[in-house]
Amino acid sequence: MKGPWTRSISTRLTMMNMLVSGAALLLACLAFFAYDQITFRKGLVHTLSAQAQIIASNSVSAVLFNDQQTAANTLSSLKDSSDVASAGIFTVDDHPFAQYTRPGESPIFTLPALGENQIEGHRFSARHVLLVRKILSEGKVIGFVYILADLHEIDERLARYALIAVFVLLVSLLFALLVSSAFRKSVSQPIVNLAETARRVSRDKDYSIRVANVGERDEVSVLIESFNEMLRDIQQRDAALQQAHNELEDRVSERTRELLSANRELEAFSYSVSHDLRGPLDALNGFTYLLMQQHGDKLSAGGRELIEHIRTAGKRMTELIEDLLNLSRVSTSAMHLEKVDLSQIARSIAEELSHSHPERKVEFVISNTEKAQGDVRLLRIVLENLLRNAWKYTSGHKESRIEFGSEREKGRTVYFVRDDGAGFDPRSVARLFQPFQRLHSKEEFPGNGIGLATVQRIVRRHGGETWAVGAVEKGATFYFTLGPSAGQPRG
Amino acid sequence: MNTAVRCLHSGRKSSAALMFRASRPRNVIACISLLFPFVLLAPGCFGQEAHPTEFQVESAYLYNFGKFVKWPAGRASPSDPLQICVLGQDPFGATLDSTVAGEKIDGRAVIVRRLSTMENPSPCGILFISSSEADRLDAVLAIAQRSESLTVSDIPRFAERGGTIGFVIQQGRIRFEVNRAAAAQSHLILSSELLKVACRIINKTPQGSER
């Protein structure tokens, strides 16, 4: 993985260098060559023009006195100019007068045309340049000199320039290569190091690594510095976070310990208080009973009534203490988990209730439910509380129906106890499971408001939850689950 | 031949000038005025084009020699016309007149004079001595030399006998010999261009000739 991008950045730098220098050189070569071409052509025309002029003025007498030999001699001076292919003198009526041809070239018998209506000047063709000059005597044209020179020197120059350009290009590319490899250490190496470190950091999540910053003070070094600083920040933040986390953990566990011990103390306290209260209360109850039995006849009717009140209050206090002790017990007693048939328990409770109040017409509908996983003693308390509750709150109706069953909902088993009794105000549903909270007056339905709180505690100890649905005089349904696993169907 | 050459030359130049410089009326007018005398001569020109006669060539040469000779300063003012004289029986006729008509040499007009006898001193820049004067040649040359005239003749061995330029016929073509010594005695400077095309250059004057 390291290979490709390590190569790529320095290769790209090198290529960039070479491309730039190559392009610049090529452009320079082209420009120079174009300039040279123009200059060369101008120079060529200039030279040929001078030669033609010399020949023209040297052949005036030859033309005037019809001396072709002398004219030919004059022309033959061109043999020193190797690029002149042929030259000649024509009379003014276009007759060839004298001619010079380079060995191997064929002579020309008509004056080559320059262009339309042009009798003097020069013309470039692909291979040649043609130059024509007038021969003047006393201001009159008496003939024409033409020189035809070939442009092989231009080709030679082109070839020479191409060769030089290629050579210089190669040398400069080599130089660019050397320069970029020299700069590679200071330019691309830091980037490569940075990239490698970044990769290691993100792979190992090790923020203690730093990139060595040894290069010159440039953008890359700033980048490296910033990167290192970022790493430092992350590391510090990590450490701070870890510390905060540890502190929090410590504090939480400390608090939990404190809370647990406070809770235990509180429960022990409330247990011992409840327990210790029972002694004097039993004495109070016992002695008022004895007072009533042994001295009741000596008391007035009013006195007996007062004693009855005391006794009733004492009994209620006993119940209250008993419930408190139960609540305390369900929170602290050890759980023995086993398979429990809730329907069976519900049936036995229903039977007890029916027996104790044979005058009431209550129909129990108890369906078979799946066996639950839990503590049988505690679950019996749950069902007893819920069914007694239902029994109690249906007492106002002549005929009523109490139902126990279960249903599947969102992959868990939900048990319910439903009645068609007094129900409750849905707005107060939040207070239902609070201890000592009652939605109905004591005169209407007796009770101390601990039953549903007990139910909730037991269900929670089983990892489940409780909730209720109801409306005033429309009955109520209490639901409970027994934890994520307790309610799962078993084979 | 020279006449023919010049005729064609004028035709070519004028047509080229007309087409080439049509946008410059001043030049067009100049061209037309230049062209005018040659247009009149045109039929004669074309008739003689193929085979110019010996005298046509010689009359052209006679005029052309003037272009390659320098006369001593002070002999004549630049405004004076250059006189081409024909001494004796005139072999050229109208040809010579038409050759020099309208021409100028070094800015001087050229005129043709015909002499039956030699004037002394001679006002002629160029003196053609007809073969009819061969018997009196030495006397004529003496006067001409003093008068600083360029002497030309088709008398045989003219240059050897003290003349400056003598026409000869070589291989059917008209050429000329130059006597540089004779020219020097007449204080004439002959251009190297002229010497270049001369078929023979003589550097001495004949012994015993009259001065």
On the question of pLDDT at A120 being above 90, the answer is: no
How confident is the model at residue A7, as a pLDDT? 59
Residue whose structure tokens are 């023919």 = B4
Point out which residues pair with A92 in neighbouring strands.
none
Closest CA to B31 of A90, A64, A141, A145: A141
* A274: its two tokens: 């409840």
CB contact under 8 A, B9 and A62: no
A 10 A CB-CB count for B26 gives: 8
Give a yes or no: residue A30 inside a domain.
yes
Give a yes or no: residue A141 inside a domain.
yes
Asked whether A58 and A98 are in contact (CB, 8 A), the reply is no
How confident is the model at residue A356, as a pLDDT? 87
Q: Which of A58, A93, A138 sits opposite B5 (nearest CB)?
A: A93
CA dihedral for A95, A99, A102, A103, sign (positive or negative): positive
CB contact under 8 A, A119 and B20: yes
On the question of pLDDT at A24 being above 60, the answer is: yes
From chain A, the residues in CB contact with B5 under 8 A are 91-93, 142
Q: What is the C-alpha separation between B11 and A377, in angstroms, rounded?
A: 146
Q: What is the distance, to the nearest Å, from the Cα of residue A281 to the centroid of all Cα atoms in its chain?
A: 70
Q: Cα Rg for chain A, rounded, in angstroms?
A: 61
Per-residue pLDDT of A123-151, as tens digits, reads: 888 888 889 999 998 888 899 999 999 88
- Closest residue on chain A to B173 (Cα): A66
How confident is the model at residue B1, as a pLDDT? 40
Do A326 and A397 belong to one domain?
no
The one-digit pLDDT tens for each residue of chain B (211 residues) are 443 333 333 333 333 333 333 333 444 444 344 444 443 343 333 333 456 788 889 999 999 999 999 888 776 677 788 999 999 998 888 889 988 888 888 888 899 999 888 877 778 899 999 998 888 888 899 888 888 899 999 999 999 999 999 999 988 889 999 999 999 998 999 999 899 899 999 988 775 444 4
Per-residue pLDDT of A63-85, as tens digits, reads: 998 888 889 999 998 888 888 88
From chain B, the residues in CB contact with A144 under 8 A are none
CA dihedral for B67, B72, B73, B74, sign (positive or negative): negative
Asked whether A41 and A157 are in contact (CB, 8 A), the reply is no
- Closest residue on chain A to B34 (Cα): A140
Do A307 and A249 belong to one domain?
yes
On the question of pLDDT at A405 being above 90, the answer is: yes
How confident is the model at residue B51, as a pLDDT? 64
Give a yes or no: residue A199 inside a domain.
no
* ipTM for the complex shown: 0.71
Query: How is B89-142 classified by DSSP, letter by letter?
Result: S-SSTHHHHHHHTT-EETTEEEEEEEESS--SS---SEEEE-GGGGGGHHHHHH
- Closest residue on chain B to A116 (Cα): B20
How confident is the model at residue A414, as a pLDDT? 92
Give a yes or no: residue A182 inside a domain.
no
Per-residue pLDDT of A37-50, as tens digits, reads: 899 889 989 999 99
* A231: its two tokens: 């790493």
- Mean pLDDT over all residues of chain A? 85
Q: What DSSP designation does A171 have?
A: H
On the question of pLDDT at A243 being above 70, the answer is: yes
* A6: its two tokens: 């390590």
The set of residues, in sequence order, having a beta carbon less than 8 Å from that of B36 and lying 6+ positions away, is none
Point out which residues pair with A144 in neighbouring strands.
A90, A134
Do A270 and A345 belong to one domain?
no
- Chain A residues with CB under 8 Å of a chain B CB are 58, 60-62, 64-67, 70, 91-93, 117-119, 137-138, 140-142
| Domain termination site, one of A332, A355, A374 | A332
Give a yes or no: residue A200 inside a domain.
no
Which alpha helices (DSSP H) does chain B contain, by range? 2-20, 25-48, 54-65, 94-100, 137-146, 180-185, 192-197
| Domain termination site, one of A286, A304, A332 | A332
How confident is the model at residue A336, as a pLDDT? 86
Give a yes or no: residue A197 inside a domain.
no
Closest CA to A359 of A402, A404, A398: A398
Do A18 and A120 belong to one domain?
yes
Give a yes or no: residue A198 inside a domain.
no
Q: Which of B12, B19, B197 sits opposite A61 (nearest CB)?
A: B197
Do A234 and A264 belong to one domain?
yes
On the question of pLDDT at A292 being above 70, the answer is: yes
On the question of pLDDT at A57 being above 60, the answer is: yes
Q: Say what percent of chain A tops pLDDT 70.
A: 95
Give a yes or no: residue A176 inside a domain.
no
- Chain B residues with CB under 8 Å of a chain A CB are 1-2, 4-6, 8-9, 12-13, 16, 19-20, 57, 60-61, 64, 67-68, 103-105, 173-176, 191, 193-194, 196-197
How confident is the model at residue B7, as a pLDDT? 35
The domain spanning residue A51 has which CATH number? Answer: 3.30.450.20
On the question of pLDDT at A443 being above 90, the answer is: no
Per-residue pLDDT of A90-102, as tens digits, reads: 988 888 899 999 8
Do A366 and A301 belong to one domain?
no
Asked whether A149 and A81 are in contact (CB, 8 A), the reply is yes
Counting Cα atoms < 13 Å in the Cβ hemisphere of B180 gives: 12
Q: What is the C-alpha separation between A346 and A367, in angstroms, rounded?
A: 10
Q: Is B6 exposed, middle or buried (0-12, 13-18, 19+ CB in 10 A)?
A: buried
Q: At what angle do helices B25-48 and B2-20 cross, to 10 degrees?
A: 150
Q: What is the C-alpha separation between B92 and B100, in angstroms, rounded?
A: 12
Strands B150-153, B69-70: parallel, antiparallel or unpaired by DSSP?
A: unpaired
Which of B8, B9, B62, B170 to mutate against chain A (most A CBs within 10 Å)?
Answer: B9
Range of the domain at A247: 207-332
The domain spanning residue A377 has which CATH number? Answer: 3.30.565.10
On the question of pLDDT at A329 being above 60, the answer is: yes
Per-residue pLDDT of A217-237, as tens digits, reads: 788 888 888 889 999 999 999
Do A328 and A346 belong to one domain?
no
CA dihedral for A26, A28, A31, A37, sign (positive or negative): negative
Per-residue pLDDT of A181-193, as tens digits, reads: 777 777 777 788 8
Do A224 and A352 belong to one domain?
no
Per-residue pLDDT of A368-400, as tens digits, reads: 988 888 989 899 999 999 998 899 888 888 889
Do A353 and A411 belong to one domain?
yes
On the question of pLDDT at A320 being above 70, the answer is: yes
Higher-pLDDT residue of A411, A257: A257
CB contact under 8 A, A140 and B13: yes
How confident is the model at residue A241, as a pLDDT? 92
Strands B126-129, B150-153: parallel, antiparallel or unpaired by DSSP?
A: parallel
* Over residues A98-125, mean pLDDT: 79
From chain B, the residues in CB contact with A119 under 8 A are 12, 16, 20
Query: How is A78-98 classified by DSSP, letter by letter?
Result: GGG-TTEEEEEEEETTS-EEE
Task: Count Cβ–Cβ pairs < 8 Å, chain A vs chain B.
Answer: 67
* A308: its two tokens: 């009855």
The set of residues, in sequence order, having a beta carbon less than 8 Å from that of A123 and lying 6+ positions away, is A114, A115, A129, A130
How confident is the model at residue A219, as a pLDDT? 82
Task: Tell me which of A21-35, A410-424, B45-59 is least confident.
Answer: B45-59
How confident is the model at residue A115, as a pLDDT? 67
Q: What is the C-alpha separation between A164 and A155, in angstroms, rounded?
A: 14
Helix or strand holding residue B79 (H, E): none
Strand order in the sheet with A84-91: A96-101, A84-91, A140-150, A128-137, A121-124
The set of residues, in sequence order, having a beta carbon less than 8 Å from that of A282 and lying 6+ positions away, is A318
How confident is the model at residue B45, as a pLDDT? 36
Do A318 and A342 belong to one domain?
no
The set of residues, in sequence order, having a beta carbon less than 8 Å from that of A321 and lying 6+ positions away, is A274, A277, A278, A281
Buried b (16+ CB within 10 A) or exposed e, B121-144: ebebbbbbbbeebeeebeebbbbb
The set of residues, in sequence order, having a beta carbon less than 8 Å from that of A486 and lying 6+ positions away, is A372, A373, A374, A462, A463, A464
How confident is the model at residue B79, as a pLDDT? 78
Do A151 and A222 belong to one domain?
no
Q: What is the C-alpha separation between A28 and B164, in angstroms, rounded?
A: 66
Confidence (pTM): 0.50
| Domain termination site, one of A268, A303, A332 | A332
Query: Domain total for chain A?
Result: 3
3-state secondary structure of B88: coil
Do A340 and A476 belong to one domain?
yes
How confident is the model at residue A446, as a pLDDT? 72
Q: Cα Rg for chain B, rounded, in angstroms?
A: 18
